Chain A
């Protein structure tokens, strides 16, 4: 674990029912350095540092996993859908190519 990374999970709409298909947005502050860029001042190559894996886990079941390459924008956003299937927790785990591992989660509370 390196420094704490700011990240955010959003469920849309904010209020949802069991069985409803909602949108899930996951965003994280990450430089997504491709390993080909140079530092403007030092002229040295900035080593590659990009998110290479993102996994969505809902109540212990992996619903989506992504292999990520260096072409995603800085501070990337990942949007998928998910079918609400009971109260619980959505956990997003992501790693980067330098070995950073992070986990963030949000409660899932369907109404009705």
Chain B
């Protein structure tokens, strides 16, 4: 019976998706206006702050390159391959966790993953790869393969009182349909490529957010139990979506509604 209700609800959701369609669809001119706003992204100020923090706590770009064991020239391409399996962590980690490791190595207390300083610093670190193509390698080793599989599982896992999964609103079948005035985005490299455009400034939150933080907001809205930042499932979800958007050009910070 309970399952029946869940199915009914998901059908109701799907029908409401196509229903709201044309009435509030945004014009191309309006979209262009919002895209122009990227030129003056308030997150540029946060990125500048992140750059200072990286200098202070991690020895700047050079310190980061040395930590990863790559030359400064190779640093952008290396960063474009995150999340990665790093042997010293014995797990697949996001860029933010790698920065925590470096801070700790340098004798500093690492910023919390959910702190705005960490958002600023990891956004700056990722912006080093601006212009590079996202080059995650999910076949690099067994750890990456496992992370991808866990990410896919997390993506399609129905959870919460409404039995929703990430997939409910982000499967290829519903791309472009409107959910309460917002077109559901194509998460692949052809679409808005989250892996390449997060961290981003959220206009409705007036702050810089990371992709994992966005996942949390989404889970919260869909009444799913929120998964902690940096947890294996969360990193795996980032791996999964990064693979979907592989090859897209990194442009940090993004600007999102």
Contacts and interface: CB of A to CB of B under 8 A. Distances in A.
The answer to whether A and B assemble together is: yes
19 contacts: A6-B46, A7-B45, A8-B44, A8-B45, A8-B48, A12-B39, A25-B39, A25-B40, A27-B44, A27-B45, A28-B45, A29-B42, A29-B46, A73-B206, A75-B42, A75-B45, A75-B206, A77-B40, A77-B42
Nearest to A28: B45
Nearest to A78: B40
B188 interface: no
A90 B184 CA distance: 43
Contacts of A73: 203, 206
B255 to A, nearest CB: 11
A29 B43 CA distance: 9
A74 B39 CA distance: 17
B50 to A, nearest CB: 11
B216 interface: no
A106 interface: no
B158 interface: no
Contacts of B206: 73-75
- B interface secondary structure, majority: helix
A70 to B, nearest CB: 15
Contacts of A12: 39
B197 to A, nearest CB: 19
Given A74-B206, A75-B206, A6 B45 contact: yes
A79 interface: yes
Interface string B214-232: 0000000000000000000
Interface residues of A, number: 14
Contacts of A89: none
Interface string A16-58: 0000000001011100000000000000000000000000000
Contacts, number: 29
Interface of A: 6-8, 10, 12, 25, 27-29, 73-75, 77, 79
Interface string B194-212: 0000000001001000000
B49 interface: yes
B120 to A, nearest CB: 10
B40 A6 contact: no
A77 B39 CA distance: 11
A79 B44 CA distance: 15
Q: Which of B39, B40, B44, B206 has the most CB of A within 10 A?
A: B40
B166 to A, nearest CB: 27
Contact of A27 (B40, B49, B203): B40
In the complex, the 8 A-B pairs of residues with the closest C-beta atoms, listed nearest first: A74-B206, A75-B42, A6-B45, A77-B40, A25-B40, A8-B45, A29-B45, A27-B42
Interface in B26-74: 39-40, 42, 44-46, 48-49
A75 B42 CA distance: 7
A6 B46 CA distance: 8
